Amino acid sequence: MKVYVDRNLCDNHGQCAISAPAVFRINSEGILEYEDDVDGSRRNDVEDAVDVCPVQAIFIRDGE
- In the complex, the residues that contact other proteins under the rule CB under 8 A are 11-15, 18-19, 26, 30, 48, 51-52, 54-56
Q: Judged by CB, which is closer to other proteins: 41, or 62?
A: 41
Q: From the CB of residue 51, how many other CB atoms can be counted at a distance below 10 Å?
A: 12
Instruction: With beta carbons less than 8 A apart as the criterion, state whether 20 and 48 touch.
Output: yes
| Smallest distance, other proteins to C-beta of residue 8, A | 11
| Smallest distance, other proteins to C-beta of residue 10, A | 10
Helix, strand and coil percent figures for the chain, each rounded to 5: 30, 25, 50
| Smallest distance, other proteins to C-beta of residue 9, A | 9
